[in-house]
Amino acid sequence: MPASRPIVGVLGIQGDIEKHLNALDRLGAKGRRVLAPGDLSGLTALILPGGESTTISKGLVRHELVKPIQQYAEGGGAILGTCAGAILLSRASRNHPVPTLGLVDVEAERNAYGTQTDSFVAPADPGGAAGLGGLECVFIRAPRLHAPGEGVEILACVDGAPVLVREGNRFACTFHPELTDDLRVHALLLEAGGRPCES
Ligand code: GLN
C-alpha cells in the first residue's frame, strides 16, 4: 500500500503559486490550492506565496480566509510565508502598509531593497541555527524584517540581516525558495508539519 503523502496548501489568490506546487511535488508532498476556508482542513502545512501583498491581503478578505488562517496557525498548523507572504504573516508592515495576519512577531518593511530592477541573488551568511549557510537566496522587491520579538528565532541572514525567521511552527522568509533547486526551506516546513517527506 503506498504511504500517504503530506498535503500542503498553497494560498491560491495571486503570486508564485505554481512554483511552490512544483517544489512540493519534488519533495513528495501533495500541493493543494487554498481558496476557501474548507481547503485548510487536513493540511500538513500551508504556504503563503510571494506576489503582491496588497492584492493578496484584499483577496484574503474577499475569500473570507483571514480568521480561518489565523485559527489554523494558532492551532499549531505549520505555515511559511515567502516575500509578500512574509509581509502578510508579520505583526505589522511599513512603507505602504498592508493589513497583516499578525502571526510572526516581526515588522516587515516592504520593498526595502528597492524596485524590481534591484532584485538580486545572494548566499545566506555562513553558520546559523538551521545550517542554511550558503543557501542561494533570490530577492525580488523583497521586504526587510525588523524588531523580532523574543520568541522569534533567526534561521538565516544575508549580510547580517534576517531573511528567514521562525516563531514556533511559523516561518517568514523574505526571499523566494521556490525559484531554486535547493528545497531546504520547504523541507523545514514539512518537518515542522510533523510528518517526514515521502517520495
Ligand atoms: N514587493 C512586494 C510586496 O510588498 C513583495 C514582492 C514579492 O513577493 N516578490 O508586496
Question: How does pLDDT run across 151-174, given as a tens digit for each residue?
Answer: 999 999 999 999 999 999 999 999
pLDDT in tens, 24-50: 999 999 999 999 999 999 999 999 999
Report which ligand 1 atom has the smallest distance to the Cα of 96: 4
Instruction: Report whether 40 contacts 69 (CB < 8 A).
Output: yes
Ligand 1 pocket, Cβ-based, cut-off 6 angstroms: 50-53, 83-84, 87, 110-111, 140-141
Q: Is the pLDDT of residue 198 over 60?
A: no
pLDDT at position 184 is 96
User: Is residue 199 domain-resident?
Assistant: no
Our answer to whether residue 109 is catalytic in this structure is no
User: Is residue 2 domain-resident?
Assistant: no
The three-class DSSP label of residue 193 is: coil
User: Is residue 58 domain-resident?
Assistant: yes
The three-class DSSP label of residue 199 is: coil
Give the span between the Cα atoms of 43 and 198, in whole angstroms: 15
Return the DSSP state at 57: H
User: Is residue 76 domain-resident?
Assistant: yes
- In the chain, pLDDT over 70 holds for what percent of residues? 96
Count of domains observed in the chain? 1
Print the domain residue range for 147: 7-192
Angle at 90 between CA 194 and CA 96, to 5 degrees: 150
Task: Report residue 44 as a C-alpha cell.
Answer: 500538513
User: Is residue 198 domain-resident?
Assistant: no
Residue 125 is part of a domain; what is its CATH number? 3.40.50.880
Q: Look over the chain and give the mean of its residue pLDDT values, rounded to a whole number.
A: 94
Which amino acid residue places its CA nearest to atom 4 of ligand 1? 110
Q: Is the pLDDT of residue 92 over 90?
A: yes
User: Is residue 91 domain-resident?
Assistant: yes
Our answer to whether residue 157 is catalytic in this structure is no
Instruction: Report whether 99 contacts 57 (CB < 8 A).
Output: yes
The whole-number average pLDDT for the span 50-61 is 98
Our answer to whether residue 173 is catalytic in this structure is no
